[in-house]
Structure 1
Amino acid sequence: MTNKYLITGGAGFIGSNYAHRLLARGEDVTIFDNLSRPGSEKNIQWLQTDFGRDAFNLVKGDVRNSEALEQAVQDKQVIIHLAAQVAVTTSVVDPREDFEINAGGTFNTLEAARKTGEQPILLYASTNKVFGGMEDIRVREEETRYAYIDHPMGIAESYPLDFHSPYGCSKGSGDQYMRDYYRIYGLRTVVFRQSCIYGPRQFGVEDQGWLAWFAIAARQGRTITIYGDGKQVRDVLYVTDLMDAYDSAVENIDHSAGEIFNVGGGPQNTISVWREFAPLLEEKIGKHIPTDQADWRPGDQKIYVSDIRKAKKLLNWQPKVSVDEGISNLVDWVTKID
């Protein structure tokens, strides 16, 4: 049966990839996006080229506009809320705008969904930054990376929240509003605390989307700035694996509604930000990459790895794309956009 989907931020990296998947299988898709992010118009053109200009409904709107959202959610069975201000550094420079987009925009989306009276499914892209800097976690420094001493399976959903940075506060506010709208109003919300998602259509910039940014900058011969010592570890998740989790949450909404999932590559798909990524990237692009060094950024975790066992259990989901395969795919796409 065809579902009517609304994707806020649907012209972005994750949104356009998910829209492409939905359109390919015949779903009814509306993209709600203000087209402000670099690459968003290219992503819309990509979708129109593959499926035709009339294959989906494009609403140029802003999640800060509650009336526009209320119109867009009408008759939608599934809402994927991806629209956001996405960078910690930007949130530090302009915390008010960050709050208005992330916290206010998420509240507007929830209210619009609630007011329909139709109980649509609502998936929310949260972030591992809701756990803050995690300074209390015991970490071991190794030659090329940091490693957990006490969390071999990664960080579980039950780990205490600590909204470090304006971005952490604004996204964390949305995270908790989503959970409470399920408890108070019965709205079928699902929260994904996402780690580093990467893949094609990611027009990364220096302060967000680091895997894609490094690949793009390397191809263009730019000098890359490394913040901290480059040993920071992240579990990375290829975008198709994330979309599988979204699909599973929708298909199994009786089990996923009201739940929060830490979603990333897990312990099997980790890489250090530069000490391990640099040799791999240089091998794939075939040249040395020049770098500069800078101080650590606010709230930058030495290591973050998701404990994905809850998602495996409730969603019957696990990552399929390895780090090596995923980065090869990313570099191939970057090469084509040069």
Structure 2
Amino acid sequence: MNIALVTGSAGLIGSESVAFLSEKFDKVIGIDNDLRQYFFGKEASTDWNRTRISEAYPNYVHYNADIRSEEAIGKIFAEYGTDIKIVVHTAAQPSHDWAAKEPYTDFTVNANGTLVMLESTRKYCPEAVFIFTSTNKVYGDNPNFLPLIEQETRWEIDENHAYFKNGIDEEMSIDHTKHSLFGASKVAADVLVQEYGRYFGMKTGVFRGGCLTGPNHSGAQLHGFLAYLMKCAITGNPYTIFGYKGKQVRDNIHSWDLVNMFWHFYQNPKPGEVYNAGGGRFSNVSMIEGIHLCEEITGNKMNYSYANDNRIGDHIWYISDLTKFKEHYPTWDWKYDLKTTMVQMYDNISTRV
């Protein structure tokens, strides 16, 4: 039997992985205990999504387990053993603001939880491909020292610096920078996954995401930029822009496009490899531009305000350069552009608010 195991399976990338892999494997094992509700409140609970995927995919089996528990995770791995062919580890505490409230919780979920997953994979199914969803926050605030210029609705890279014309690549340093505590815990996990590939020869891959988005995102104020923005556009709830004149830029990758990256890696893994994963020049938006697009799609005027204080460690401009991944996997490309993704979010969120 061929089995896929997904952590954070009721979250955005986890549930997309379940849907994608359910057609390619005999069984998909999901691990998710809805810590997102603990992090961000009832409105961010993923329980609705767990119910949805449990009903939609007959070969899906759900486990309400904590990734920090060696005993609980080890028991699941022991049950399926070498039948597990791929591990997609998406479970995390994802907010740099929240991490400062409970540093111990943040670190144990992100770093210790990843170690538990790696060790369980090494012990019970060492030939499995291990996919880790890292983050662009491992680069800390180094991107803020790039040569940026202010335009009417966004910050943009100075055109005289051609190296960054396609965005930020994997050569950017993760040292000598302010990461936020969230960024630090993800660095620890990121390096662990690389090391299990390079030291133990496991088939591990690190994907440093920009803004990951899609219709099944349970967006909250502290995490899930586009989904929460769209939710506020639909409901009329107030939205606050934090700093940088609302011109801060993010690239956005649809959850399906990201999971398709995982699938390409699975078919030809390169142990310990690191890839930036985002919308790149194909799909990116500033805060102001995102608000205008939400207003266009919903037909509603958004209720937003501006706070002059930017979030600690927040990026002014971040666009992922995917040149390396596309060179390694030339048949991969984006499928969903920004507006298509946001229309999908509007359709989905409208049924839930």
The superposition leaves residues 290-329 of structure 1 with CA deviations (integer Å, 9 ceiling, x where unpaired) of 1122210011110001010111111222212111111111
Q: Amino acid of the residue matched to residue 4 of structure 1?
A: I
Distance 1:95 1:144 in 2: 35
Letter aligned with residue 71 of structure 2:
E
Match of residue 144 from structure 1: 153
* Partner of residue 312, structure 1: 326
Question: 208, 212, 234: which one pairs with 1:197?
Answer: 212
1:280 matches 2:293: yes
Matches of 1:48 and 1:65, distance apart in 2: 23
TM-score between the two structures when normalised by the length of structure 2: 0.91
Asked whether the 8 Å contact 2:138–2:187 carries over to 1, the reply is yes
Q: For 1:90 and 1:323, locate their aligned partners in 2 and report how far apart those are by CA, in whole Å.
A: 27
Secondary structure of 2:206's partner?
strand
* Aligned residue number for residue 269 of structure 1: 283
CA distance in 1 between counterparts of 2:225 and 2:129 reads 30
| 1:83 correspondence with 2:91 | yes
CA shift digits 1:49-101 (9 cap, x unpaired): 2234xx32211111110121122223211111111001011011111110110
Q: What number of residue pairs does the alignment pair up? A: 332
Answering whether residue 46 of structure 2 is matched by residue 40 of structure 1, we say yes
| Aligned position for 2:167 | 154
The answer (yes or no) to whether the contact 2:213–2:224 under 8 Å persists in 1 is yes
Structure 2 letter corresponding to 1:136? F
Q: Does 1:71 align with 2:111?
A: no
Aligned positions of 1:203-242 closer than 5 A: 203-228=218-243, 229-242=245-258
Secondary structure, aligned partner of 1:93: coil
| Contact 1:311–1:318 (CA under 8 A) maintained in structure 2 | no
Alpha-carbon spacing, 1:176–1:332, altered in 2? closer, same or farther (3 Å) = same
Q: Does 1:111 align with 2:115?
A: no
Give the distance between the partners of 2:77 and 2:328, measured in 1 at CA.
27
Deviations 1:223-248 (A, max 9, x none): 10111121000111111111110111
Matches of 1:160 and 1:20 in 2, distance apart?
35
Equivalence for 2:100: 92
Please give the alpha-carbon distance, in whole angstroms, between the structure 1 residues aligned to 2:68 and 2:154. Answer: 40
Cα offset, 1:119, TM superposition: 2.5
Report the equivalent of 2:271: 257
* Cα pair 2:168 2:321 within 8 Å, conserved: yes
C-alpha contact (below 8 Å) 1:73/1:79 kept by paired residues? no
Q: TM-score, normalised by structure 1?
A: 0.95
Partner amino acid for 1:244?
N
* Aligned-partner residue type, residue 139 of structure 1: L
List aligned pairs for 1:143-182, cutoff 5 A.
Answer: 143-149=152-158, 150=161, 151-162=164-175, 164-182=179-197
Contact 1:217–1:223, Cα closer than 8 Å, also in 2: yes
Match of 1:20 in 2: 19
Q: Cα offset for 1:203? A: 0.9
Amino acid at match of 2:260: D
Task: Tell me, yes or no, if the aligned pair for 1:6 and 1:73 is still in contact at 8 Å.
Answer: no
Give secondary structure in 2 for the equivalent of 1:49: helix
Report the equivalent of 2:261. Answer: 245
Aligned residue for 1:300, secondary structure, equals: coil
SS in 1 for 2:223: coil
Q: What is the aligned partner in structure 2 of residue 124 from structure 1? A: 132
Residue 267 of structure 1 and its aligned partner are, at CA, apart by 1.5
Partner Cα distance (1:199, 1:219) in 2: 16
Instruction: Return the letter of the residue paired with 1:50.
Output: A
Residue pairs, 1:283-302, within 5 angstroms: 283-294=296-307, 295-302=309-316
1:60 partner letter: N
Deviation of 1:108 (Å): 1.1
Partner Cα separation in structure 2 for residue 325 and residue 95 of structure 1: 37
Give distance in 1, aligned partners of 2:256 and 2:224.
Answer: 16
Amino acid at match of 1:7: V
The code of the aligned residue for 1:296 comes to: N
On the 8 A contact 1:12/1:39 being kept in 2, the answer is no
Counterpart residue identity of residue 66, structure 1: E
What is the SS of the residue equivalent to 2:92?
coil
Mapped to 2, the partners of 1:152 and 1:102 lie a distance apart of 32
Q: What is the one-letter code of the residue matched to 2:61?
A: N
Shift in Å, 1:249? 0.8
Could you list the runs of 5+ residues in structure 2 that have no partner in the other structure? Answer: 37-43
